[in-house]
Amino acid sequence: MTSLDHDVTVPDAAPSGRSGPSQPILSVRDLVVHFPVRGRGLLGRTTGTVHAVCDVSFEIYPGETLGLVGESGCGKSTASRAVLGLRGATSGQVVFDGQDIADLSTYRMRRLRRQMQIVFQDPMASLDPRLTVHEIISEPLRIHGLHTADRARYVAELMRTVGLNSEHGNRYPHEFSGGQRQRIGIARALALEPKLLVLDEPVSALDVSIQAGVVNLLEDLQHRLGLAYLFVAHDLSVVRHVADRVAVMYLGRIVETGACQEVFANPAHPYTQALISAIPIPDPRKERARRRIVVSGEMPSPTDPPSGCRFRTRCPLFANRLDETERTRCQREMPELAERGQGHPVACHFAEAVPVL
Amino acid sequence: MSTEATAATPAADETADETADVLVVEDLTVSFPTDDGLVQAVRGVSYRLREREILGIVGESGSGKSVTSMAIMGLLPRSARITGSIRFRGQELLGLREKELNRFRGSKIAMIFQDPMTSLNPVHTIGYQVAEAIRAHNDVPKAQARRRAVELLDAVGIPNPGQRVDSYPHELSGGVRQRVVIAIAMANRPDVIIADEPTTALDVTVQSQVLDALRTARQETGAAMVLITHDLGVVAGQADRVLVMYAGKPVEIGDVEDIYYRPRMPYTLGLLGSVPRLDASRSQRLLPILGSPPSLLNLPAGCPFTPRCPIAQDWCETEEPVLMDATSPRHSAACHFSENLAGVRPHDLYAPTSADARTPDRPDRPPAEAPTGKGNLP
């Protein structure tokens, strides 16, 4: 019936991450992204380094969603850009579908890019206001020379896929609402039939009533097309809803990772606990009866991260419960992200699962 | 119907039951003339704010939440057409001249905006700015104002206030800046604090710190608060009463538990069903409200929610419902069918669909149905 039919050979029951194949679609190993801080003047000597992403490792399997969460400045967006090769990594390895992207020639990289696409946060900033929706969605097809014969039909099909009226192809982005614009961005990302979508805060610019429809659409598309998602967001309620697994980042490092269910039910890192306990629940009685785990201060500068554990300057455990020797350990020794008997890997010397919901 | 702002009657001799109300807004309308016609941003907002009460105003972008509070503060551009009445302790504020209004602004009614970077002056230290707010309404020496500024910065939880007082806004993080704005709002012990999306630009851990600072501000000053936000979670935790706005009008108002546990307006139900909740099952699908809010330019007759409403009838297209008592005299809703909504939950009304509008170009597509065949896309 449609061109999507034969190209995307996805069975009805799309492989889900939980029972899916054992070969990850994306594997990131010890990814490090540092930015030089340049001084003033003509020579602009390097005066410091922003440690944006440090030793980040994760895997994503076909049909699975990995939620990458953390507060602004934790490096989650930088990490996702590095995965796509949009930003050079300082060190580390990104393996997509068995190929290390660092080894690829420009030509091969360009072919591989079809497999990994991105949806940005602000649909108004990521859609060219001078192009019609049809032109926007067909641009990747034009660049990659695909669907030359049936492009109009294919683009119309894509628009229907994301819940847009296919007759509106010759309208401009400003004629659409925020939710519809985000759907245009999703259609464009789907045009090349990717295997992995990087979703960088895809719904945070939308009103809640609209956001729900886009979240549902992303879930449907994943189920239908077997897509893998790297879902980057700061809103933990949304991430808990869509992700199979979650990785919590703080100041460039993953501090806790595991199955979504498990991390939310039994968070073992004090930062994850604080983060979950800080999210308001839209239920007056529950919300007022909750115990908050308070984190003092704000995230330190990534140019000069604290020694040892990067969270210790704000850590409620460090401040209230640890004795002097234990604190010294936090200051001296960087906690590895490892299984510590909590059911999932956590980067805290004194990890202890505490249900906060 | 509504008193013209310029012809506002002095309301000092209002009825006795108004004495407990610090702020009364009555049938406020605001419209802006544009090249395309009149934009009716606010179409009749009324509420009473009692002493020490927190009123949460929720609604989507463009629902008129912010314009309402800008009207109270007298901050709208001259081109805005305002009618209705805004009374602070019985004193009409609409139609006051700038100079008269300045006696209230900052000292009786203080405002906190979403973005602290735009409400702070980048060329002055924060200490100067807090002291300036004190000296604007009190004849105190500079040194004393500065001492008070340090106290206020301490009260809102800024560490090392003695040092920070000499910092410039750009040297501070977003959360600290917002606390400076809260300190300024507290400076003159106002009776009302209007906080317009005070935590929207902040990360969650910082959000709870700022909400704590707001709580301190209320406790120290005894002020009542209007808390404008789109975050239903924040309102659930903070507000005593909640006003839900849609297309420039209140569609439901009541005590916080009425709104969350006994909503009687389909839009409120829709909002509650569309938020992902940490306490809900992960497998539970979200319930979007189809379509998008109407343009406030040339609004059609009838209930503005009709095109998105799952229970709309022909009647709704012609007659706009007014706020009527729902479950109690303190809880009212603007829906012709609010009586039918007793005990109704969001999933009874809304489908867990991924569609965008009520009339998709494939009407045969059942919402949220399992895939029936290869390539049968949603």
Q: How many CA atoms lie within 13 A of A112 on its CB side?
A: 22
Q: Please list every residue in chain A whose beta carbon sits closer than 8 Å to the beta carbon of residue B261.
A: 284
Q: Where are the beta strands (DSSP E) in A156-293?
A: 196-200, 228-233, 245-250, 253-259
pLDDT at A284 over 90: yes
Determine the pLDDT at residue B355: 87
Range of the domain at A167: 3-250
Flag whether A239 is in a domain. Answer: yes
Most B CBs within 10 A among A3, A219, A241, A294, hence the mutation to make, goes to A241
pLDDT in tens, A169-209: 999 999 998 899 999 999 999 999 999 999 999 998 899 89
Q: B276 vs A282: CB contact, 8 Å cut-off?
A: no
- Output the CA torsion sign for A92, A95, A100, A105: negative
Are residues A166 and A284 both part of a single domain? no
Are residues A245 and A286 both part of a single domain? no
Of A20 and A344, which is predicted with more confidence?
A: A344
Residue of B nearest to A180 (CA): B356
Q: A240 vs B353: CB contact, 8 Å cut-off?
A: no
d(Cα B235, Cα A26) in Å, to the nearest integer?
Answer: 40
Q: A213 vs B368: CB contact, 8 Å cut-off?
A: no
Express as a percent the part of chain A with pLDDT over 70. 94
Cβ contacts of residue B3 below 8 Å, gap of 6+?
B9, B83, B84, B85
Flag whether A236 is in a domain. Answer: yes
Check CB contact of A259 with chain B, cutoff 8 Å. Answer: no
Contact indicator for B227, B233 with CB cutoff of 8 Å: no
Closest chain A C-alpha to B291 CA, distance in angstroms: 8
Are residues A139 and A285 both part of a single domain? no
Band the pLDDT of A297: cuts 50, 70, 90: confident
Are residues A212 and A278 both part of a single domain? no
| H or E element, residue A117 | strand A116-119
Q: How many CA atoms lie within 13 A of A40 on its CB side?
A: 0
Q: Is A346 helix (H, G, I), strand (E, B) or coil?
A: strand
Are residues A161 and A238 both part of a single domain? yes
Domain CATH for A48: 3.40.50.300
Q: Which domains does chain B have, with CATH numbers?
A: 5-239 (3.40.50.300), 266-276+285-349 (no CATH)
Q: B362 vs A209: CB contact, 8 Å cut-off?
A: no
Determine the pLDDT at residue A270: 96
Residue B53's CB is within 10 A of a number of other CB atoms, namely: 19
Mean pLDDT within B214-227: 94
Express as a percent the part of chain B with pLDDT over 90. 77
Flag whether A339 is in a domain. Answer: yes
Strands A196-200 and A228-233: parallel
d(Cα A96, Cα A76) in Å, to the nearest integer?
Answer: 18
Q: A211 vs B287: CB contact, 8 Å cut-off?
A: no
Flag whether A256 is in a domain. Answer: no
Q: Which of B110, B107, B86 is nearest to B96 (CA)?
A: B86
Q: CA-CA distances (angstroms) from residue B289 to A343, B185, B351, B355?
A: 38, 37, 9, 10
Helices (H), A67-129: 76-83, 106-113, 123-126
Last residue of a domain, one of A188, A220, A250: A250
Closest chain A C-alpha to B358 CA, distance in angstroms: 11
Are residues A142 and A89 both part of a single domain? yes
Are residues A134 and A18 both part of a single domain? yes
Count of the separate structural domains present in chain A: 2
Q: A163 vs B360: CB contact, 8 Å cut-off?
A: yes
What is the b/e burial string over A269-303, where b = at least 16 CB atoms within 10 angstroms of the residue's CB?
Answer: bbbbbbbbbbbbbbbbebbeebeebebeebbeebe
Residue of A nearest to B284 (CA): A241
Contact indicator for B287, A212 with CB cutoff of 8 Å: yes
Mean pLDDT within A5-18: 41
Are residues A186 and A99 both part of a single domain? yes
pLDDT at B378 over 50: no
For chains A and B, what is the number of CB pairs under 8 angstroms? 178
Q: Please list every residue in chain A whose beta carbon sits closer than 8 Å to the beta carbon of residue B268.
A: none
Are residues A126 and A204 both part of a single domain? yes
Residue B365's CB is within 10 A of a number of other CB atoms, namely: 17
Band the pLDDT of B18: cuts 50, 70, 90: low
Last residue of a domain, one of A184, A215, A250: A250
Determine the pLDDT at residue A310: 96
Check CB contact of A174 with chain B, cutoff 8 Å. Answer: no
d(Cα A29, Cα B228) in Å, to the nearest integer?
Answer: 44
d(Cα A273, Cα B237) in Å, to the nearest integer?
Answer: 19
Residue of B nearest to A6 (CA): B375
d(Cα A57, Cα A259) in Å, to the nearest integer?
Answer: 15
Flag whether A303 is in a domain. Answer: yes
Q: Where are the beta strands (DSSP E) in chain B?
A: 21-34, 37-50, 54-58, 81-88, 91-92, 109-112, 192-196, 224-228, 241-246, 249-255, 324-328, 331-333
Are residues A234 and A294 both part of a single domain? no
Flag whether A258 is in a domain. Answer: no
Flag whether A264 is in a domain. Answer: no
Q: Which of A209, A207, A260, A214 is nearest to A119 (CA)?
A: A214
Of the partner residues A209, A220, A240, the one whose CB lies closest to the CB of residue B276: A240
Are residues A18 and A96 both part of a single domain? yes
pLDDT in tens, A19-46: 445 789 999 999 999 998 887 777 777 8
Are residues A232 and A281 both part of a single domain? no
